[in-house]
């Protein structure tokens, strides 16, 4: 069983796996986390606003995307983005979008829904007195949000946000369905080229496992440190 395990295939594939594959996976994770956080916070603020139309739009968007499988959403945006780009740039035919940026847009828009729920629960977990105190000090709603509410909410929610980032890191492997060369895509390509499915998939699983495990243990540590003591 293990005697047939060909380590040499893995060693030979390492540069391709990490320089091409893992670089794609990590940059996609990073960009989508930042984009998802920004858009997600915006959605959360919209959802908790008193304006019915704003909160309705944000709520509908979040609920819609949360009820769909990520694979379907990936397909949706893969075909939708060229048309959106055409519409935005006013060109005459659908614009070809680089697979990387297409994935970044997809994951940003999708993960924003999950970040939105995290930030919203963070805002709601703050005592009402914080908002009242801010307005008693003469702050406008926007100032209260930016200087008082969000900094505390984000701090409370930091562990959850990081956990969601680990989930996002694992979810990026789904770009496989578009034959994009992320870490798993690179492993799958080598696996099929060399007929070494066993070695490549076990190695891919091992790498994902180690990274996710270390990251989630670090989040657990952090969780204890950032808790605001009241």
Binding site for other proteins (CB under 8 A): 1, 64, 67-72, 75-76, 79-80, 83, 86-87, 93-94, 163, 170-171, 173-174, 176-177, 184, 188, 191, 197-198, 201-202, 204-205, 208-209, 212-213, 216
**At closest approach, how far in Å is the CB of 91 from other proteins?**
11
Taking the complex as a whole, the smallest distance from the CB of residue 144 to other proteins amounts, in Å, to 29
Residue 108: C-alpha distances to residues 172, 191, 202 (Å): 11, 30, 29
Give Cβ neighbours of residue 114 (< 8 Å, ≥ 6 apart): 36, 40, 66, 164, 167
Of 126 and 202, the one with the shorter C-beta distance to other proteins is: 202
Asked if 74 and 106 count as a contact pair (C-beta separation under 8 A), the reply is yes
Nearer to other proteins, 48 or 173 (CB): 173
**Residue 207 CB, nearest distance to other proteins (Å)?**
9
Cβ count within 10 A of residue 111:
25
Smallest distance from other proteins to CB 221, Å? 16
Cβ proximity to other proteins: between 153 and 169 the closer is 169
Is 24 in contact with 180 (CB distance < 8 Å)? yes
1/136 with CB nearer other proteins: 1
User: CA-to-CA distance for 153 and 171, rounded, in angstroms?
Assistant: 25
CA dist 36 and 114 (Å) reads 9
CB nearer to other proteins: pick between 79 and 101:
79
Taking the mean position of all CA atoms in its chain, how far away is CA 89? Answer: 26
CB of 35 to other proteins, least distance (A): 20
Q: Which is nearer to other proteins, 140 or 216 (CB)?
A: 216
Place of tokens 């847009």: 105
Pairwise CA distance, residues 40 & 37, whole Å: 5
Q: Considering the complex, what minimum distance in angstroms separates the CB of residue 110 from other proteins?
A: 12
């Amino acid at each position: 069983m293990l005697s047939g395990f060909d380590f040499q295939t893995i060693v030979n594939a390492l540069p391709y796996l990490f320089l091409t594959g893992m670089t794609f996976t990590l940059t996609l994770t990073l960009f989508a986390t930042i984009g998802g956080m920004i858009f997600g916070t915006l959605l959360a603020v919209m959802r908790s606003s008193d304006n019915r139309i704003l909160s309705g739009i944000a709520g509908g968007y979040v609920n819609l995307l949360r009820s769909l499988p990520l694979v379907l959403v990936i397909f949706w945006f893969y075909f939708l983005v060229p048309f959106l780009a055409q519409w935005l740039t006013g060109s005459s035919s659908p614009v070809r979008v680089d697979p990387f940026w297409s994935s970044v847009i997809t994951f940003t828009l999708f993960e924003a829904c999950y970040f939105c729920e995290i930030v919203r629960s963070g805002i709601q977990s703050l005592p009402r007195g914080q908002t009242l105190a801010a307005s008693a000090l003469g702050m406008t709603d926007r100032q209260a949000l930016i200087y008082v509410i969000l900094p505390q909410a984000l701090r409370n929610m930091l562990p959850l946000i990081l956990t969601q980032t680990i989930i996002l890191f694992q979810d990026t492997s789904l770009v496989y369905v578009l034959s994009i060369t992320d870490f798993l895509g690179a492993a799958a390509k080598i696996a099929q080229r060399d007929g070494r499915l066993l070695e490549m998939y076990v190695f891919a699983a091992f790498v994902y496992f180690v990274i996710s495990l270390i990251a989630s243990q670090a989040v657990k540590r952090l969780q204890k440190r950032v808790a605001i003591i009241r």
